[in-house]
């Protein structure tokens, strides 16, 4: 059992856990690790997106999707966010949160951004990801709205009683 889950000794209630103190220590440790890892990741960009993601995923609880959120905030032209909606639109699925799938997604979004770029209107991979996200959310909202309308109208018509003809 991790030490931070062990009861605090020397207290009146042995069921109390020393969570606050241990979490504080872990947060301080993680903070230093996060600063170091993110600095290494940022220095890897724009040349090596794979290395940038890998530098962040050494942190506890950080996978490629979370790493992509950090990198997208730092370098949106190179590192789009790994949203389910973009993965579904570009790759046809959204549940494989691996580095391999992220690099495939990022490459395709970067290609589309280059295709859409013009002198008047520059596009980044993150712009394309956000457009796909917005489109997917709008479709979900429109779909649920029209389903509610259909359900409401069917309830209205099914609630009417017909008069019997004699």
User: Could you report the per-residue pLDDT of 84-115, keeping only the tens digit for each?
Assistant: 999 999 999 878 999 999 999 999 999 999 99
- In this prediction the pTM is 0.67
Please state the domain count of the chain. 1
Tell me, yes or no, whether 74 lies in a domain.
Answer: yes
Beta-carbon contacts of residue 32 (< 8 Å; ≥ 6 apart): none
* Cis preceding linkage at 11, omega within 30: no
Tell me, yes or no, whether 143 lies in a domain.
Answer: no
Tell me, yes or no, whether 163 lies in a domain.
Answer: no
Tell me, yes or no, whether 146 lies in a domain.
Answer: no
Q: What is the pLDDT of residue 143?
A: 80
Tell me, yes or no, whether 82 lies in a domain.
Answer: yes
The residue whose two tokens read 């520059």 is 122
Q: Which range of residues forms the domain containing residue 33? A: 3-136
pLDDT in tens, 5-24: 444 444 444 334 444 555 45
């Amino acid at each position: 059992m991790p030490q931070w889950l062990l009861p605090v000794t020397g207290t009146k209630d042995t069921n109390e856990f020393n969570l606050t103190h241990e979490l504080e220590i872990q947060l301080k440790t993680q903070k230093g690790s996060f600063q170091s890892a993110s600095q290494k990741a940022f220095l890897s960009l724009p040349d090596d997106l794979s290395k940038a993601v890998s530098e962040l995923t050494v942190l506890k609880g950080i996978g490629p999707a979370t790493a992509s959120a950090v990198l997208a905030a730092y370098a949106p032209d190179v590192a789009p966010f790994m949203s389910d909606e973009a993965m579904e639109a570009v790759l046809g699925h959204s549940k494989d949160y691996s580095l391999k799938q992220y690099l495939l997604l990022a490459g395709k979004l970067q290609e589309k951004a280059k295709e859409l770029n013009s002198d008047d209107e520059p596009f980044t991979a993150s712009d394309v990801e956000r457009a796909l996200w917005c489109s997917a959310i709008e479709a979900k909202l429109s779909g649920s709205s029209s389903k509610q309308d259909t359900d409401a109208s069917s309830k209205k018509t099914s609630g009417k009683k017909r008069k019997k003809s004699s």
